[in-house]
Structure formats: C-alpha cells, structure tokens
Amino acid sequence: MLNAFLTIGVFQLVTMAVLLVRTKALALLLGPDGVGVLAIVDKLLATAGQTVSLSLPFAAVRFLPELWRRDHSEFLSLVRPMRNMLIFVGLVSTSVGVIVTWLDPRLWGAELLPYRTIVFSGFISLPVIILVPFLQNAIAGRLAHNFSALFILGHALVLTLASIAGVWVGGLSTFYILYALVGMVLVIFTIVFVERKPAGAIGSERLPFFQLKLPRKIWNFSFAVWALAFITPFAALYVHYIVLRSHGIEVAGWMQCAMAVGLAVRNLLGRAHPLFLTPNVNNGGSVEERMCWASDFQKTFSMLSLVPALPLLLFPHLIVSMLYSPAFLPAAPFVALFVINEVLTLLTGTYQALILAFDHLAFHVFQNLIAQAMLIAVATVSVPQYGVLGAGLASICAQLVLYCGSVLFLRRRHKFEVPVRSMMLSSFIIMSLIASGIFGALHAELSWGIVTSKLSLYAISVAGMVTLLSAADRANLFGLFNGLSHRLASVGARGES
C-alpha cells in the first residue's frame, strides 16, 4: 500500500508543482482583489457543474470498478451513456447560464454584478468542468490508478497554461474562454482512452455510441446523493459571499490564499482516496475484509500526512510569500485552520467511503446535509465578526460532525472498531498540526532561534509519529526508504559512468 501511495504521490507532486506555477503567476498578475474574484466565480461554476451533473461522476467510481473486472463490455455499456448524459446536461446548462447572465445577472448575487463579463465567460467552460471529474473517476474505474493521476496532471497543465496566457492577454474572461477550448481537446482524447477495450477482451464488439439510457440503480444512487452535489459547493460559495459582503473583495482574496495552502495538502495527499481507496472498497469482498483494508489505508495515510503538512504550518508567512506575494501576508495566520480542515476531510473520507460501499446512502446524505448546515450556520454567525478566522472554524466544525458521525454509525451498524493504534496516531497528528499552526502563526520572523525551534518541533512530531507505529509498520517504512535510497544511488552511479 505504501508503494501505491508513493506512486500516486509522485504524480501529484508534479501536478502540484504545475499548479503552484499557476498560483504564483495569478497572484502577481491579479493581486488579492483579482484572486478573490476568481475564487468566487470558480465556486459559482463548481456549484452549477456539480448540481447539473447529477452525481454521475461519483456514480462512476462507485459502480465501474466491479464492471471492469467482470466484463469490459458491461463497463462500456455504462460509461458511454453516462458520458452522453453529461455532455447533454453540460451543453444545456451552459446555454442557460449564458442566457441568464446576459439577461438577469442579479440571479447569481448582487455581489457579482461588477464581474458580469467574467461570469458570462466562465459558463462557457462549464462542459469541461463537468466532464473532467467524470473522466478522472472513469479511468480509476478501469483500475488504472497511474493513468488517472496522469490525466489529472494533463488537466493541471491545461489549466495553468490557459490561466497564465488568458490573464496575460485579456484578463479572467479570456482565461475561461481559452480553458474551455483547450480543455475540450483534452477531454476528447481522454474519452477515446476510457472507452478503449483492452486487447483480447471478450464480449460484444458493437455497442451503441449515442445511447442515453442508464440503469435504474445508477439513477437511484445519483438522485440519492444529488442534494450533496448541490449543498456542498453551495456552502463554500455562501461562505465566500459572506466574506465578500462583510469584509470586501481583498479579504476574500486573502481567504482564498489560506484555503489554497490547505487545498495543496489535499491535492498532495488526497488523490489516493478517489484513485486507490474508493475503487478498492467498492471492488467486492466481505464487509470485514473491506473494513480491515480501510483501516490499513487510514493508518498509512495518517502516517504520511504529517510529514508534508507540518512545514506549511510552521512557516506560513514564508509559504504565502513564495506561493503568492507579500500582498497576501494577512492570510498567513489562518493557513493552519484550512490545512487542519483538509486533513480532517481526508481522515473522514476513509470512513465515508466505507459507508457508501455498504450502500448506506440515506445516512451518508443525511449526515452530510447536517454538516453543511453546520458550516452555513457557524459561518453566518462568525464570519461577519471574525472574518477569515470564522470561516476556518466553521469548516472545521463541519468536518468534526462528519468524522464523529461516520465512526459512530459504522460502529453501531457493522461493529467497526477503529484500531487503538490508528486512533492514537490520528489524534497525535491533529494535536501536532494544532501546536505547529499556533507556533507558526505567532512567530513570523526567521531568526536562528525561531527557525531552530520550529525545526525541533518538526523533528519531535515526526519522531513521535514513528514511535506510535507498530514494529511491522516501522520495518515496512524503513525498508521502503532503504529501497528508494538504493535506487537513487544506482541511478547516480549510472549517471557518473
């Protein structure tokens, strides 16, 4: 499992490097105000895209892995109508979005009226926004985890090039138009790969290409979780609206900066969830086997999450200056809130994947609605007074509701017990993140004494994590690092020769 994490992690590191170039370029080209506008328009498009996609991208990763193992023709007979349906709703929703923005843009909120042209251009890119998550999950449904990670990297390259070129030439409106054009080229090539049969595959060779009919179980699943496809991005959009209304577009840009650091952690660590965790827990086996596999996944994830996350919290001012610019430094004290929120999100995601794999859709939807209601309620009360701090605390409250609810439900319905060592490891990681976040926020200077103290805290945290591992886990970890060092040494020896 460590090898799978690291393979996906290597792809994700390259992807993050590409996206960091985009982040830095946009920060310099747009400043806090422009980044704030981009964040809000992106949230609006995400809300529209996830709502009209009817949860079909999520259904893809839920149902396709088992079909791929059983019968490739059945796989294709489901992929193609899902693809056709998403193309159809993408074209319709783009038309509706463009028309509404042209005739009555106040429907998207009075806060966005000054940015009407940007919103108009953004809706043109909606088909790409809808199809990219589906294709990522469809490739994972072929159990081709590395190819799915490669597609994510390709999309990051397209997004980055379109962003920099578009903003440089004509601003955010040009970016969205360019992204729609180049992104569609990537989508078309990826569809060809997803629907390609492997050599020697058995089954029917002729399948309808423009079929729209989907099995009832797909619609049952999609409509069961459809409310979440709307409420989750809407809650994030609502928080941005409150910040914009209460504190202005510049503060919204600062919050996006702090959130982006947290999202970098999710992008680095979280790709293993949809590409590796979800296909495997939905790939058959007994309840006990899948719960045991998920526990091992959670332990491995917890172990790996601390190493890259702590430096971001210990040196937030340096990270913000490097990723964005000194104009975004007011966001640095809040970085820890959003990094901790993303780690909690991923820890919770392991148990939520089990709940969905066991077909407890009603509970999954119910608890997520409660969590998003918590986010909206806490943000409504706290953001007008505390700004970005209130938004970060609201996000953490929502994730705590999900984590506790998921664990208690699995324990009651399936007698699932979180291993003591895994619980201790997760608790230690969260406490280390909190301590590092507070220390990093309070000490912005880079004197020798402060830097030494931060590095010491990092070393103590990593050493504490290692002591909580079992002897077998430590042996696997050290064996993996020894193997990597031998490979690097052999590559260096070949290079010298």
Q: What is the pLDDT of residues 381-439, one digit of tens each?
A: 999 999 999 999 999 999 999 999 998 999 888 888 877 777 888 888 889 889 999 99
Give the residue from 160, 379, 358, 87 showing the smallest Cα distance to 255: 379
φ, ψ of residue 443 in degrees (nearest 5):
-125, 90
Instruction: Give the pLDDT confidence score for residue 125 in this predicted structure.
Output: 93
**Which residues have CB under 8 Å from 378's CB, separation 6+?**
390, 393, 394, 397, 398
In whole angstroms, how large is the CA radius of gyration of the chain?
23
C-beta neighbour count of 389 within 10 angstroms:
16
Distance between CA atoms of 337 and 390, rounded to whole angstroms?
A: 10
Identity of residue 45: L
Instruction: Give the pLDDT confidence score for residue 429 in this predicted structure.
Output: 85
Identity of residue 311: P
Instruction: Give the pLDDT confidence score for residue 277 in this predicted structure.
Output: 75
Structure tokens at 158: 């397209």
Structure tokens at 1: 């499992």
Instruction: Give the pLDDT confidence score for residue 488 in this predicted structure.
Output: 45
Structure tokens at 220: 């049952």
Out of 2-11, 77-86, 165-174, 186-195, give the one with best mean pLDDT. Answer: 165-174
Distance between CA atoms of 256 and 263, rounded to whole angstroms?
A: 10
Q: What is the DSSP letter of 315?
A: S
Only one residue has tokens 């693809």, namely 83
Distance between CA atoms of 240 and 35, rounded to whole angstroms?
A: 12
Structure tokens at 149: 């990670």
Question: Above pLDDT 90, what percent of the chain?
Answer: 31
Query: Is it the case that residue 470 has pLDDT exceeding 80?
Result: no
The model's confidence at residue 497, banded by pLDDT at 50, 70 and 90, is very low
Cα angle at 80 between 233 and 11, to 5 degrees? Answer: 60
**Which residues have CB under 8 Å from 138's CB, separation 6+?**
60, 64, 79, 82, 83, 194
Distance between CA atoms of 164 and 24, rounded to whole angstroms?
A: 10
Query: Is it the case that residue 489 has pLDDT exceeding 60?
Result: no
Query: Is it the case that residue 137 has pLDDT exceeding 60?
Result: yes
pLDDT digits (tens, 9 = 90+) for 145-162: 678 778 888 999 999 999
pTM of the entire predicted model: 0.75
Per the CB < 8 A criterion, the answer to whether 310 and 433 are in contact is yes
Choice among 163-177, 197-211, 274-288, 331-345 with the minimum mean pLDDT: 197-211
pLDDT digits (tens, 9 = 90+) for 213-239: 788 888 888 887 787 778 888 898 899
Distance between CA atoms of 157 and 150, rounded to whole angstroms?
A: 11
Three-state SS sequence of 65-123? HHHHHHCHHHHHHHHHHHHHHHHHHHHHHHHHHHHHHHHCHHHHCHHHHHHHHHHHHHH
475 or 444, which is more confident: 444
C-beta neighbour count of 288 within 10 angstroms:
11
Per the CB < 8 A criterion, the answer to whether 179 and 162 are in contact is yes
Q: What is the DSSP letter of 169?
A: H
Three-state SS sequence of 118-157? HHHHHHHCHHHHHHHHHHHHHHHHCCCHHHHHHHHHHHHH
Average pLDDT, the chain: 83
Distance between CA atoms of 283 and 290, rounded to whole angstroms?
A: 9
Tell me what the mean pLDDT of segment 5-12 comes to.
Answer: 63
Q: What is the DSSP letter of 274?
A: I
Tell me what the mean pLDDT of segment 47-61 comes to.
Answer: 86
Q: Residue 190, Cα to own-chain centre: how many angstroms?
A: 20
φ, ψ of residue 36 in degrees (nearest 5):
-65, -45
Query: Is it the case that residue 491 has pLDDT exceeding 50?
Result: no
Choice among 31-45, 197-211, 267-281, 307-321 with the minimum mean pLDDT: 197-211
Instruction: Give the pLDDT confidence score for residue 302 in this predicted structure.
Output: 76
Alpha helices in 204-334 (DSSP H): 216-224, 226-247, 249-269, 272, 278-281, 287-314, 316-323
Cα→Cα distances 290→58, 286, 476, Å: 19, 6, 21
Give the residue from 122, 229, 106 showing the smallest Cα distance to 180: 122
Query: Is it the case that residue 204 has pLDDT exceeding 50?
Result: no
Distance between CA atoms of 379 and 239, rounded to whole angstroms?
A: 6
Instruction: Give the pLDDT confidence score for residue 317 in this predicted structure.
Output: 92
Burial of 491 (0-12, 13-18, 19+ CB in 10 A): exposed
The model's confidence at residue 16, banded by pLDDT at 50, 70 and 90, is confident
pLDDT digits (tens, 9 = 90+) for 252-297: 999 989 998 888 888 777 766 766 677 777 766 677 878 887 777 7
C-beta neighbour count of 139 within 10 angstroms:
25
